[in-house]
Amino acid sequence: MNGTPAVFLDRDGTINVATVRDGKPYPPDSLAELKIVPGAVAAIGALRRSGYRTIVVTNQPDVATGKQRRETVEAINRVLMSELILDDIRVCYHVDADGCSCRKPKPGMLLEATRDWNIDLARSFMIGDRWRDVEAGRAAGCRTLLIESGHNERRAEPDFSVMSLVEACQIILNVSELAG
């Protein structure tokens, strides 16, 4: 065991409320639409106090397709960094067709953060609300937690299924106590 454990978090639908259209989640269209999920500040604070790095890994393909401005994504991320006191936010602005290594379900953002922050992936977790998050976490070597959101899309089996970010963080803290 070398390195620090981390909790990697998806952004939209995990730490902030996503707009759901036709069963699929979308990011807030503007800073004014940003709503942090209930309990996120306390839950992420508890993870940090327990020694976890907290790193957001988020796909933002709407920038590449012209549906969202990069400045809006960055403004939302600044608010999240400040209010949730996160260690880092990693963003992939690509679409699937770009074939990049950073777009979830590929683990590129997690692996890059691991190198930069000296993360121990075997003691780390990935929390998200979509199959892409689960598969990225699994590919990186993390345990995975899926926030059951009822999205109308394919599913990947996580290590833990939960109903909220708060429940996910409680499970992580309980697993850590048992291991530690």
pLDDT per position as a tens digit, 52-101: 999 999 999 999 999 999 999 999 999 999 999 999 999 999 999 999 99
Paired tokens of 153: 């899309």
Active site residues: 10, 12
Which residue bears the tokens 């499970």? Answer: 171
At the fourth CATH level, the homologous superfamily of domain 6-179 is: HAD superfamily/HAD-like (3.40.50.1000)
Residue boundaries of the structural domains of the chain: 6-179
Distances (CA, A) of 14 to 38, 179, 180: 10, 25, 26
Query: Is there a contact between 151 and 131 (Cβ–Cβ < 8 Å)?
Result: no
Query: Is there a contact between 104 and 132 (Cβ–Cβ < 8 Å)?
Result: yes
pLDDT for res 2: 82
Phi, psi of 161, deg, nearest 5 = -105, 135
pTM of this prediction? 0.95
∠ Cα 92 98 99 (to 5°): 90
Tell me the three state secondary structure of residue 150.
Answer: coil
pLDDT band at 176 (very low <50, low <70, confident <90, very high): confident
What are the helix (H) ranges across 11-124? 40-49, 70-84, 108-117
Distance of CA 93 to the CA centre of its chain: 15
- State the Cα–Cα distance between residues 150 and 85, nearest whole angstrom: 28
pLDDT at 38 over 60: yes
